Structure 1
């Protein structure tokens, strides 16, 4: 199983690859073997990176309403893809630790390893874009100072999450902590659960 630092490197690679063209329609070119854990982490961060920029676009004050709705629909799909990918990452952890017998005193961890990686992926995006802000030539000294202070906090958080992830994986592997995967039960994308959707189906 990869260490936190190795996971960070994959996230960082995805972010750098995206920004070579810096366009939300850039096709993904995953450098890792299909079906591998590394490839899945790369996909996860690519989804996050594209969505980050979609969230920027949709906040343009003069955005065309039709374009805005299209982007909103795209963000909705991206959120579902993100959740599905996190659950696929958790499948790797379930397989990795399937033979581990938790100790009697093992504590339940409310967050699965994959959802911690989700936070780590987004944190790397925050760091990348906050660093961009510290390098702006058109910004005031006050803005640069504020962003540098925020970047320092993000870097501290990165280290804390690195420790938390590595300790979690070690503890699970040694039977001191355990986790359960509760599949996300998102209702708004399900035509049988969203009343706006199934009411429309009945009307048809």
Structure 2
């Protein structure tokens, strides 16, 4: 199953990040660039770094200049995340390019890669909730509450995986078809963001 591969690669990326637990660590992708595993690993690495950026930027004692630097880093990361989703969807478009949609075939509310994006974020939630559920210095009440949340996250991972597998099967059989809409983000584009194109040189 494709989602089993995703979960395995995402788990590997998350574990690799936490060897050093450093937002400045340069990625070392262990997979060949031509492999889908390379894209999945790169996608989750971006998500994992951004997860920790979001933690750091919420430090109430953070220097405002440092916070602005991190906010701009997060903006760049969001664009990279979007680009990576589109690369993964391009993989699926190539996989299913010869499938003829059936009469009455419908389009899904999201593409396969955007559903996989949610699976990647879910992997991070599971990893960190498991840490909280087993944190030695936390109270028993805290650990119990986090274990209950972890159980729900694991159920959500199973349900989302099943939904993705069903979507891929439907696309392969022509019951559904997919399109990729470029996200066309505006805030990072100097020609589209009024604040940027309105600035004087």
State if a TM-score over 0.5 links the two structures.
yes
Q: Secondary structure at the match of 2:20?
A: coil
* Shift in Å, 1:105: 2.0
- 1:11–1:121 contact (8 Å) kept in structure 2: yes
- 2:93–2:178 contact (8 Å) kept in structure 1: no
* Shift in Å, 1:158: 0.5
Residues in 1 aligned to 2:19 and 2:98: alpha-carbon distance in whole angstroms: 42
Which consecutive residues of structure 1, in runs of 5 or more, have no partner in the other structure? none
Query: Equivalences for 1:57-76 in 2 at 5 Å?
Result: 57-76=56-75
Residues in 2 aligned to 1:59 and 1:97: alpha-carbon distance in whole angstroms: 42
Q: Secondary structure at the match of 1:172?
A: helix
Q: What does residue 182 of structure 1 align with?
A: 181
Q: What does residue 147 of structure 2 align with?
A: 148
Q: What does residue 45 of structure 1 align with?
A: 44
Q: Secondary structure at the match of 2:160?
A: helix
Which consecutive residues of structure 2, in runs of 5 or more, have no partner in the other structure? none
Q: What does residue 198 of structure 1 align with?
A: 197
Q: Secondary structure at the match of 2:19?
A: coil
Residues in 2 aligned to 1:178 and 1:91: alpha-carbon distance in whole angstroms: 13
TM-score where L is the length of structure 1: 0.96
* Shift in Å, 1:11: 0.5
* Shift in Å, 1:47: 0.1
Report Cα offsets for 1:34-59 as digits up to 9, x if no partner.
12211000000000000000000000
- 1:113–1:168 contact (8 Å) kept in structure 2: yes
- Alignment length, in residue pairs? 201
Query: Equivalences for 1:67-146 in 2 at 5 Å?
Result: 67-146=66-145
* Shift in Å, 1:108: 1.3
Q: What does residue 28 of structure 1 align with?
A: 27
Residues in 1 aligned to 2:185 and 2:114: alpha-carbon distance in whole angstroms: 16
Q: Which runs of 4+ in 1 moved over 6 A?
A: none
TM-score where L is the length of structure 2: 0.98
* Shift in Å, 1:165: 1.0
- 1:110–1:179 contact (8 Å) kept in structure 2: no
Q: What does residue 162 of structure 1 align with?
A: 161
> How large is the RMSD of aligned CA atoms in angstroms?
0.9
- 2:106–2:177 contact (8 Å) kept in structure 1: yes
- 1:45–1:121 contact (8 Å) kept in structure 2: yes
Q: Secondary structure at the match of 1:139?
A: coil
- 1:108–1:177 contact (8 Å) kept in structure 2: yes
